[in-house]
């Protein structure tokens, strides 16, 4: 068959078929007495195989290697397995990158939405996505090792950060002795400070290693308290 018929049967253009020939994915075509390229059913089957491998994400170099291995179907199994494992690892790495990109885009979208909402009642701030060199908010969670409210406090902080669409570095700070508690003005476990300020400041601080009770009568501050503290810290940046 001539190149036009093969292009029709494989849904490829004549230029693409010639390109595959140049890249040695197809064997050199025979010629008719008139000098036209002549192709066989094996060429049609190979082109379909090439398209199938491309759909799976294989590069032309890898496809050429697979084509060469097809001539040694029994002995080639180990080599094919290695190629597939490498491609699977590549796909998984790309998926992780896409997940990170998706998370960043979602974060930026929330930040835009929060800024637009903030502008309804306050003076506008610079677009949070376009600000350069902005450092993540510093969030310290001071706690006594073994405190049952420490992990719930961490989760509450992360929820508040996500709700406010703010990036923050959550840094745990273990307080082991009364001397450390006094040096840190630590009123109880857990204590949450955003950019150095307590999320629920008190006029009187009695340093100690006891559990802390917040205004909501819980060992973990309410999410709204955290969100308000995050928003206030954001306005001061």
Is residue 189 domain-shared with residue 201, that is, in the same domain?
yes
- At 94-114, the pLDDT tens digits run 888 888 888 778 878 887 887
H helix intervals, 26-177:
41-55, 60-70, 77-118, 150-164
Same domain? For 230 and 147 the reply is yes
121 and 197 in a single domain? The answer is no
Q: Please say which residue of 50, 71, 92 terminates a domain.
A: 71
Q: Give 99 or 176, the one with higher predicted confidence.
A: 176
Of 206, 183, 189, 199, nearest in space to 146 by CA: 189
Structure-token match 């940046």, residue found: 237
Domain match, 202 and 165 both: yes
Residue 129, pLDDT score: 73
Rounded-to-integer distance, Cα 197 and Cα 135, Å: 17
Tell me which residue of 30, 24, 31, 79 sits closest to 46, measured CA to CA. Answer: 24
Q: Are residues 168 and 194 in the same domain?
A: yes
Check whether 236 has a pLDDT greater than 80: no
pLDDT computed for residue 219 by the predictor: 95
For residues 162 and 225, state if they share a domain. Answer: yes
Q: 141 and 130 in one domain?
A: no
Find the mean pLDDT for residues 185-194: 95
Q: Is the entire prediction scored with pTM above 0.75?
A: no
Q: For residues 204-232, give the mean pLDDT.
A: 92
The answer to whether the beta carbons of residues 173 and 212 sit under 8 Å apart is: no
**Hey, how many other C-beta atoms are within 10 angstroms of the C-beta on 161?**
21
Q: Are residues 50 and 92 in the same domain?
A: no
204: pLDDT strictly greater than 80: no
> So what's the pLDDT on residue 132?
55
**Neighbouring residues of 160: CB distance < 8 A, sequence distance ≥ 6:** 223, 226, 227, 230
> Would you place residue 232 in the very low, low, confident or very high pLDDT band (cuts 50, 70, 90)?
confident
What is the number of structural domains in the chain?
3
Q: What is the reported pLDDT for 99?
A: 86
Q: Are residues 81 and 66 in the same domain?
A: no
User: What is the domain-level CATH number for residue 18?
Assistant: 1.10.1660.10
**130-145 mean pLDDT:** 80
Same domain, yes or no: 221 and 160: yes
40-49, 63-72, 138-147: the lowest-pLDDT one: 63-72
**Separation CA 176–CA 86 (nearest Å):** 48
Q: Are 169 and 138 in contact (CB under 8 A)?
A: yes
CA dist 43 and 4 (Å) reads 13
User: How far is the C-alpha of 74 from the C-alpha of 128, rounded, in Å?
Assistant: 59
Cα–Cα distance list, 10 to 18, 43, 49, 140, 187 (Å): 13, 10, 10, 62, 74
What is the CATH number for 143?
3.40.30.10
Domain boundary among 21, 48, 71: 71
Query: Please, which residues have CB within 8 angstroms of residue 193's CB and are 6 or more apart in sequence?
Result: 139, 140, 142, 199
3-state secondary structure of 49: helix
When the pLDDT of each residue in the chain is averaged and rounded to a whole number, the result is: 87
3-state class of 191 per DSSP? strand
**Residue 192: pLDDT band with limits 50, 70, 90:** very high
Mean pLDDT of 218-223: 95
Q: 226 is in which domain, residue-wise?
A: 137-236
- Do 114 and 40 belong together in one domain? no
pLDDT band per the 50, 70, 90 thresholds, residue 226: very high
Measure the CA–CA gap between 168 and 161, rounded to whole angstroms.
7
What contacts 179, CB < 8 A, 6 or more positions away?
Answer: none
Residues 153 and 220 in one domain: yes
């Amino acid at each position: 068959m001539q190149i036009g018929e093969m292009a029709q049967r494989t849904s490829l253009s004549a230029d693409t078929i010639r390109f595959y020939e140049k890249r040695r994915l197809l064997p050199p075509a025979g010629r008719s007495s008139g000098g036209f390229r002549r192709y066989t059913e094996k060429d049609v089957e190979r082109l379909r195989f090439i398209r199938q491998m491309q759909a799976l994400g294989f590069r032309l170099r890898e496809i050429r290697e697979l084509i060469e291995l097809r001539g040694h179907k029994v002995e080639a199994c180990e080599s094919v397995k290695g190629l597939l494992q490498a491609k699977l690892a590549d796909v998984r790495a790309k998926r992780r990158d896409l997940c990170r990109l998706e998370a960043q885009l979602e974060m930026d979208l929330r930040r835009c939405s929060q800024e637009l909402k903030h502008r309804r009642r306050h003076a506008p701030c610079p677009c949070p996505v376009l600000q350069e060199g902005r450092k993540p908010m510093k969030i310290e969670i001071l706690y006594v090792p073994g405190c049952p409210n420490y992990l719930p406090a961490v989760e509450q902080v992360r929820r508040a950060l996500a709700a406010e669409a703010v990036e923050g570095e959550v840094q745990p700070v273990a307080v082991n002795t009364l001397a450390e508690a006094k040096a840190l003005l630590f009123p109880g476990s857990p204590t949450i400070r955003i950019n150095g300020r307590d999320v629920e400041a008190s006029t009187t601080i009695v340093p100690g290693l006891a559990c802390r009770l917040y205004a909501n009568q819980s060992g973990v501050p309410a999410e709204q308290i955290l969100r308000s503290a995050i928003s206030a810290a954001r306005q001061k940046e």
